[in-house]
Structure 1
Amino acid sequence: MNIQNLAFEPIKLPRGALLKNRLVMAPMTTSSGFYDGSVTDDLISYYSERAGTIGAIIVECCYIDNKGPAFPGALAIDNDKMIPGLARIAKAIKSKGSKAILQIYHGGRMVEPELIGGKTPVAPSAVAAPREGATTPIELTASEIDMMVTKFGDAVNRAIKAGYDGVEIHGANTYLIQQFFSPHSNRREDKWGGDREKRATFPMAILDITHKMAERSANDNFIIGYRFSPEEIEVPGIRFDDTMFLLEKLAAQGLDYVHFSMGHYKRSSIVNTEDMTPLITKFIKSRSEALAKVPVIGVGSVVNTADVEQALDLGYDLVAAGKACIAHPDWADKITQNEELDLSMDYNQRIALKVPEPLWRFSLVDAMIREVQPTTRNYKVGVYQEKIELEAQKLKINVELSTDRITDITMTVDDSLDVDFTTTFEELRTRMLVANSPYVDAIAGATAQSEALKKAVSRALTTSSKDHIISTGGNPNEGVVYDVVVIGSGGAGLSAAIQAHDEGANVVIIEQMPTIGGNTVKASVGMNAAGTIYQKLKGIDDNAQLFFDESLKGGQFKNDQELLRSFVDSAPLAIEWLADHGIELCDITITGGMSIDRTHRPGDRSAVGGYLISGLVKNIVSRQIEVLLDTKVIEILTENNEICGVRVEDEYNEQTIIKAKSIVVATGGFSANKKMVLEYRPELDGFVTTNHKGANGSGISLLQKLGSGVVDLKEIQIHPTVEQTTSYLISESIRGGGAILVSQAGRRFYNEMETRDKVSAAIIELPEKTAWILFDDQIRSNNKAADEYIEQGFVQQAPTLEALAKKINIDIKALQPTIDKFNQAVSIQHDEEFGRATALRVPIEKGPFYAILIAPGIHHTMGGVTIDTDATVLKTNRRPIRGVWAAGEVTGGIHGANRIGGNAVADIVIFGIKAGRQAAIYAQNKR
């Protein structure tokens, strides 16, 4: 087939509109609208840049009702004030010669309450979506449904007034229209529900009013399209024959096109996974003559000319591209030239590509971004085979390399493979090829598999890099001379490496563990800072002096006050540094020992650790900073009292020397080193630790050999809320969100928001030496970390407080008065019983109710090597060790005798940046 002869042939739609070709830009969420759903200037530029050669642009979905937005930054068409902004988009597209089509929708039960002012979303029936934490919606009344149909009509009328060539009715993606047709979400027994004939009533009504509005106000050739998801995985759910039934009815009423909503244009059934027939093939085979007259749009994984050709060959009449149009605004032009395209984009290309900032941060696009500058590593071209070592499987992969890129990763066929691992492999393979690096986020729910695969790819790169050196006559054991060696890949090490690189240094990170992230990845609550832009936006009046005073008090006045002053003064700048690097901590909560909300966390209120490490690693990858995993530094080398490098040992016990001009040590504390803990605190024998096994104090030992001083090694913090069977830390954000602690007797026993040392002591004094952390669904929904605990399986839950009490063997006659008294304290914002003055957020009253059995565990070592305010490591005589800096838990002095929750993340970022900057400056002065 000649692509020029078909893809660029005009096509006349049933109602008379003429598209100049068969290429379409798919509607994609940009999350770039204003808070009220209005249009930003960036969106005008974004759509204008992509118009021209392409036949039509379907503008992202606009919600038709103020309870309808399904995502942040959604565009609205729910009132006439939105018309001028939407008109600007239509004009920008049409002025370039492309048709402008506007997609309209309502999110129904898929709307999060926080997007609609805390209100409960609406749906055909009061049935929650089958996802963890989904809100049970309010069932629409018959009169409200009639009104909803009217609102869709009003939206069509506004689209006409805004100058659009047509509208696409969004009946897909489990939004409201699909919800009415689905037997899972529609359990009604009136005219709007029942058998599929009745369940089709609502989408038919929407199409009917769309026709009426078009006939009243638009040209005769106004385009009316319908997007659909062909199947649902839910039971009961929409099946393919149900979809065909609906499409036949819609076609009989009159449509210009139907638009599949799928991740791949060749996708087969998600219900009958044994049937590999593409759904488009089944569609064409089973459609009637009437439906055959309605053009069909294919979408999903369309990038290159070959994809367009295959889609047209399969029977699609039009082909829509999504991500390809983001990466290549002139995608249609490149298709005409048969250019070979990929979806990767340079991390600094956003402005040139006219991509709005929120879309650039969206996960859809984030995975496409990579640094396209040459890698610091050179590979020997070839295919390298490695083993993936899992407990139950030993699989083989082939890593294909060009001189500077990973070109492919394939897995040797093995009968022992299961579907889950195959899915993990494919997803992770894509991430690594796009990033040109093994250092990408693990697949959720498959961490062990992900890390094993990443490690295998990393080994292949190391082997190939050595082979390249040998092939060019070099000695791989001599290695590269670096400006800065960073030891440790937790938050402090990654921050230091990024800053050192940006100061112009050649940097390598050395990590003794097989994965990046250190103990930081386990951090949960957030990052403390006072006087930040995010606090000001929320009306929180805070200042560095108050932060200093409360940290000093929390540390029992044993803190190094010079370090602490530098810490609190630098914290807001560190928050801004993170935001500048794409890591935004814009939500704020509180921790024990603080009097004000200053603990910054991700906007979705998830645990800070994984989010922070993921963001920092993306910065490491984009800068092509070398990372050596499974590599232990056994000695810091000096020559003539100057730092000259490190001696390392890899996983195969081979030792090499890495030359360097300066060192940053960021190896963490020693909470996982039982011998070292008991040396300083023998009374902690038998306590579990929340730390990973790499927190063994190795960095302290390395630096002591250079003569460094140490401070506060006896100051070891135990965290009050640790799940004992898994050593899982239960985030302070849960108590900061409003949870309480109760004893087995069903009573509160202490101020939950006191400092960690005091709360831990109170739990230890209980007869059982354990307690329950108790909260309700309001608290859970505002703290995403709680969902992780539920997934781990150690959360007890029940629909009522009485049922929960029975489950955890607490007398409800004792527990109910405890809850009632606490709820009264919340209502008057005064806890007379225990003096809790913060985090009295909501009454514990909304089921389901949750409880986690906890006890204290070893969490943080406040002591470590001595540093100054520039993170320079100091000798026992307080003089600096030239060329050596340290950051994070390997250091001591900042936190005194007790660390405030949220101060550790601030510590690693603040002093990581300082250490990286100073190490780079020092190294460059030695060039």
Structure 2
Amino acid sequence: MSSNERILSPFTLPNGTELKNRLFMAPMTTCTGFYDGSVTDEVVEYYRARAGSIGTIVVECCFIDDLGPAFPGALGIDNDDKTEGLARIAAAIHERGSKALLQIYHGGRMVDPKLIGGRTTVAPSALAAPRDGAATPRALSGEEVTGMVSKFGDAVRRAIQAGFDGVELHGANTYLIQQFFSPNSNQRDDEWGGSRENRARFPLAVLDITHKMVRQYADDAFIIGYRFSPEELEVPGIRFDDTLFLLEKLAERGLDYLHFSLGTALRPSINDTEDPTPLIKKYIARRSENLAQIPVIGVGGIVNASDIDQAMDNGYDLVAVGRACIAYPDWTDRIARGEHLELSIDSTQREALEIPLPLWRFFLVEAMIRDMSMSDSMFKPGVFQETVQDDSRELVVNVSLETDHIADIELVSGGSDDVEFVTSFEEIRSRILDANTPHVDAISGATSQSEAVKKAVSKAMSKSGKALAAESGVVETGPRHVDVVVIGSGGAGLAAAIQAHDEGASVLVVEKMPTIGGNTVKASAGMNAAETRFQRVKGIHDSKALFYAETLKGGKNKNNPALLHRFVENAPQAIEWLADRGIMLNDITTTGGMSIDRTHRPRDGSAVGGYLISGLVRNINKRAIDVMLDTTVTGILTENGAVTGVRLVNDENETLTVMTHSVIVATGGFSANSDMVVKYRPDLAGFVTTNHKGATGGGIKLLQDIGAGTVDMGEIQIHPTVEQSTSYLISESIRGGGAILVNQQGARFFNEMETRDKVSAAIIGLAEKYAYILFDEHVRVKNKAADEYIARGLVTSASSPRELAAQLGMDEHQLSATLERYNGFVAQQQDSDFGRTTALRNPINQGPFYAIRIAPGVHHTMGGVTINPDTQVLNTDKQAIPGAYAAGEVVGGVHGGNRIGGNAVADIIIFGTLAGHMAASRAKSGL
């Protein structure tokens, strides 16, 4: 068996649970919790980034009692309120495919009183730890010891309820469990002290209550591990014989693994200094047959595959990795590829590596950091003043830059007398400074202001970078060269850029608008895909064949079959592509035209667009992919019919040329270009659009200028549920969650889950030309988008259907009768009036009740340039234009005569990543 086969092969624990490999991430405190031990976003992302290929992650020690934290910023599991936050960590690890264990402990006399508000620490005996300045603890009473065992039990219960796969009892590092077994720290004369047997009572009692909680709350797959320090230096203190005695007792009660706590995995005895034999070899030689059934984890000094092999050759069954996982979140993948790693961290990469700042400053991590900031200077230090405009005022902003980071952002004038404005300014300022980039999420409710501030920072960075280049004597003597230029920063463009970068290409993203995101930020429903693992987990039986058939039917059989086959086949791997990059769409609903739940969305039910763009931008930032905002592509350059570059005009009105092997056009559709819409569909004159103002069809013209053909230009979709005064789209997930449509009289009039074109036609056919989407609290709690509609003032709400009818000017008796009849259909799961067969989820009977007045609006242009299934743009003779690729709404043929809700997001990720792959491949080939 090869080294990799041994390391990466599955391993079965004594309880029958299979680990996907023998590698553990060791529990290492990040010091990143809130003051009370609650979980922060930073620590969730830290674990998410390191999960995936590694088999198991043991999450840092969590204190089981408020007198137990041994570190500043320690995480707690001392009350039920902590469960929800810890569940986020478990979920983040599970989403990436690793097992999640939680280490639990109490610091005992090792707790600094400053960490517990100056209170007195507790321990088995009133003896201070043998270290300078250690406080003398209070000895626990017999009743308190019993209570402490119960607290460990409560912590195990919470770990189970939080979704962890197991717990590791921390009986090492001189913490409370070890303190009870140690003759140095435990000099009691009751049942919990004195003899070795009595000193073992506490760790055994903790293990007993752990088993009790597992039997009551978990299943047989729940993992129980125990970490121990095999020796103590103190006299008296624990010796190796004592440890073997304790481990035999623990093994009799049942454990799934033992975790040696050593500075280095092959460390010899610290007591018998004349014997160089590693303790693990002594352990293997002396353990009983019973103890030999329990696998052993080694930790300490593991960096490369050779370290793992050496540890396993000496007797360890499993290996835990510490600092190497901090320095390399993808450590397992690197080991699998045979890389040789140095234990060091680039000083400029903290954010990219998802290392929380408190951990970054921890001395063991600090020792690994190499200062790279000076060699990677990006800016000329200084203060740059920028004047920008939001929706209502002019803002003057000072941006302070250091060589490698944004030092400060100050509002000089424009809104400083407005408390709400200043509050939102401080929030966007904080986001930009924390991320060290202007590419961050806007503040909800202050989007225009946020984008203005982001633009000011972008302009300052651009000016500073140019000043640095000039000062350094760097003179551009010709056009810039990159492997791939991506035009458009919506979901398709960002996905393409990330994929191309990950395949080794240099990438430039060009966006004509002042902000990243394109029309994708407005997407609300989700992403369709069939045969995904998230469907399987939820017991949803789906097939690609059915997905294909329903999309073809929804598209009125006008879809390009080759593109549709590629779309359906690649959809599940597109879901995984996102998941691999920390963008989890693991909640599932349905949309009109689909017979099965296959619309994947964020777990919390929020709108998919903002979540998706936020995640993609995070990945863009990690990779330091260059994004030029406020920059228009005026032409694609060609030579002998092949793409050679692009011509740009930036916000300073400078004309630039960028030479490139490949161009990916991902500029979206043309719904916001009313002249273009009416050209192809005169009947849509006067309709509002749900699209952002940049959706003007510019990319289609760019490609037509180099000979591209087009298809289906007259196929323009109107969305049935658009709030007309704001042009705000009301997500299909609301109807998919169980809402209905009623007319002004309070009656249903059509199958709400039909395709968008048919529902739109039904609303247009009403005398009043509008309708209401009506739902209750059942729907609202599962769709965060509904809260946004409420916050925007788009929703009418009332405590009862009668009150709601009065507010809407409806006949209350008709509305009540409509709801009663519909609720009967839900009970029967059969709609006798309109044939609705999906999303009959819950009766609409739980107040408050909500309604939004809606009518159709121009939503999606199915037509666009022609491509082949490899995203190559085709000319009017159906021949590929070398170096030209396109993805997303700029392309025609995928959706035919009508787009199914949830298919647009699938389209942009599927074809965006494919375009990135194709463009990078062309660059590597040197064409």
Q: Bigger CA drift: 508-517 or 423-432?
A: 423-432
Contact 1:102/1:159 (8 A) holds in 2: no
The CA distance in 2 between the partners of 1:716 and 1:876, in whole Å, is 21
Aligned-pair distance for 1:642?
A: 2.9
Query: Which structure 2 residues correspond to residues 11-410 of structure 1 after superposition, within 5 A?
Result: 27-29=37-39, 42-45=57-60, 56=71, 60-62=75-77, 69-71=83-85, 73=87, 89-90=104-105, 97-98=110-111, 158-159=150-151, 345-348=350-353, 378-410=378-410
TM-score (normalizing by structure 1): 0.66
Contact 1:25/1:56 (8 A) holds in 2: no
For residue 798 of structure 1, what is the amino acid of its counterpart? A
Aligned-pair distance for 1:653?
A: 2.9
Contact 2:645/2:659 (8 A) holds in 1: yes
Contact 2:666/2:890 (8 A) holds in 1: yes
**Counterpart secondary structure, 2:750:** coil
Aligned-pair distance for 1:447?
A: 1.2
Contact 2:38/2:82 (8 A) holds in 1: no
The CA distance in 1 between the partners of 2:357 and 2:457, in whole Å, is 33
Aligned-pair distance for 1:867?
A: 0.6
**Cα distance, 1:100–1:663 mapped onto 2, change above 3 Å:** farther
Please give the per-residue CA displacement for 1:212-236, whole angstroms capped at 9, x wherever unaligned. xxxx9999xx9xxxxxxxxxxxxxx
**Cα distance, 1:153–1:98 mapped onto 2, change above 3 Å:** closer
**Cα distance, 1:159–1:43 mapped onto 2, change above 3 Å:** farther
Is 1:563 aligned to residue 563 of structure 2? Answer: yes
The CA distance in 1 between the partners of 2:666 and 2:526, in whole Å, is 19
Aligned-pair distance for 1:158?
A: 1.2
The CA distance in 1 between the partners of 2:536 and 2:496, in whole Å, is 28
**Counterpart secondary structure, 2:518:** coil
Contact 2:524/2:609 (8 A) holds in 1: yes
**Cα distance, 1:689–1:579 mapped onto 2, change above 3 Å:** same
Aligned-pair distance for 1:782?
A: 0.9
**Cα distance, 1:100–1:761 mapped onto 2, change above 3 Å:** farther
Please give the per-residue CA displacement for 1:792-822, whole angstroms capped at 9, x wherever unaligned. 1121111110000000011011111111000
Aligned-pair distance for 1:382?
A: 2.5
For residue 523 of structure 1, what is the amino acid of its counterpart? A
Aligned-pair distance for 1:476?
A: 5.4
Contact 1:689/1:859 (8 A) holds in 2: yes
For residue 73 of structure 1, what is the amino acid of its counterpart? A
**Cα distance, 1:615–1:68 mapped onto 2, change above 3 Å:** closer
Please provide the CA RMSD for this pair.
3.9
**Cα distance, 1:57–1:90 mapped onto 2, change above 3 Å:** farther
**Counterpart secondary structure, 1:545:** helix
Contact 1:62/1:74 (8 A) holds in 2: no
Contact 1:668/1:889 (8 A) holds in 2: yes
TM-score (normalizing by structure 2): 0.66
For residue 105 of structure 2, what is the amino acid of its counterpart? A
In the alignment, structure 2 segments of 5+ residues that lack a partner are: 1-32, 49-54, 91-99, 117-143, 159-189, 194-201, 203-324, 328-345, 361-370
Aligned-pair distance for 1:422?
A: 2.6
**Cα distance, 1:706–1:75 mapped onto 2, change above 3 Å:** closer
The CA distance in 2 between the partners of 1:844 and 1:821, in whole Å, is 10
**Cα distance, 1:374–1:579 mapped onto 2, change above 3 Å:** farther
Aligned-pair distance for 1:518?
A: 0.4
Please give the per-residue CA displacement for 1:364-392, whole angstroms capped at 9, x wherever unaligned. xxxxxxx9999988323322111232344
Aligned-pair distance for 1:652?
A: 3.6
Aligned-pair distance for 1:90?
A: 1.4
Query: Which structure 2 residues correspond to residues 696-735 of structure 1 after superposition, within 5 A?
Result: 696-735=696-735
Is 1:670 aligned to residue 684 of structure 2? Answer: no
**Counterpart secondary structure, 1:562:** helix
Contact 2:687/2:857 (8 A) holds in 1: yes
Residue number in structure 1 paired with 2:540: 540
For residue 28 of structure 1, what is the amino acid of its counterpart? S
For residue 27 of structure 1, what is the amino acid of its counterpart? G
Residue number in structure 1 paired with 2:609: 609
Residue number in structure 2 paired with 1:482: 482
Contact 1:393/1:416 (8 A) holds in 2: no
**Cα distance, 1:517–1:798 mapped onto 2, change above 3 Å:** same
Residue number in structure 1 paired with 2:851: 851
**Counterpart secondary structure, 1:898:** coil
For residue 350 of structure 2, what is the amino acid of its counterpart? M
Query: Which structure 2 residues correspond to residues 383-782 of structure 1 after superposition, within 5 A?
Result: 383-412=383-412, 416-475=416-475, 478-782=478-782
In the alignment, structure 1 segments of 5+ residues that lack a partner are: 1-22, 35-39, 77-84, 104-151, 168-215, 223-325, 329-340, 356-370
Please give the per-residue CA displacement for 1:339-371, whole angstroms capped at 9, x wherever unaligned. xx999834336699999xxxxxxxxxxxxxxx9
Contact 2:673/2:695 (8 A) holds in 1: yes
The CA distance in 2 between the partners of 1:645 and 1:163, in whole Å, is 61
For residue 735 of structure 2, what is the amino acid of its counterpart? R
Contact 2:719/2:757 (8 A) holds in 1: yes
The CA distance in 1 between the partners of 2:668 and 2:453, in whole Å, is 25
Aligned-pair distance for 1:45?
A: 4.4
The CA distance in 2 between the partners of 1:407 and 1:559, in whole Å, is 52
Q: Bigger CA drift: 446-455 or 591-600?
A: 446-455
**Counterpart secondary structure, 1:422:** helix
Please give the per-residue CA displacement for 1:57-94, whole angstroms capped at 9, x wherever unaligned. 686443766x9954461799xxxxxxxx9995217x67
Is 1:826 aligned to residue 841 of structure 2? Answer: no
Residue number in structure 2 paired with 1:813: 813
**Cα distance, 1:54–1:373 mapped onto 2, change above 3 Å:** farther
The CA distance in 1 between the partners of 2:450 and 2:359, in whole Å, is 34
The CA distance in 2 between the partners of 1:353 and 1:484, in whole Å, is 38
Please give the per-residue CA displacement for 1:607-665, whole angstroms capped at 9, x wherever unaligned. 00000000000011111111111111110012343322111112343322122221000
In the alignment of these two chains, the number of paired residues is: 658
**Cα distance, 1:513–1:86 mapped onto 2, change above 3 Å:** closer
Aligned-pair distance for 1:870?
A: 1.1
Contact 1:490/1:519 (8 A) holds in 2: yes
Is 1:800 aligned to residue 800 of structure 2? Answer: yes
Aligned-pair distance for 1:449?
A: 1.2
For residue 353 of structure 2, what is the amino acid of its counterpart? N
Contact 1:58/1:100 (8 A) holds in 2: no
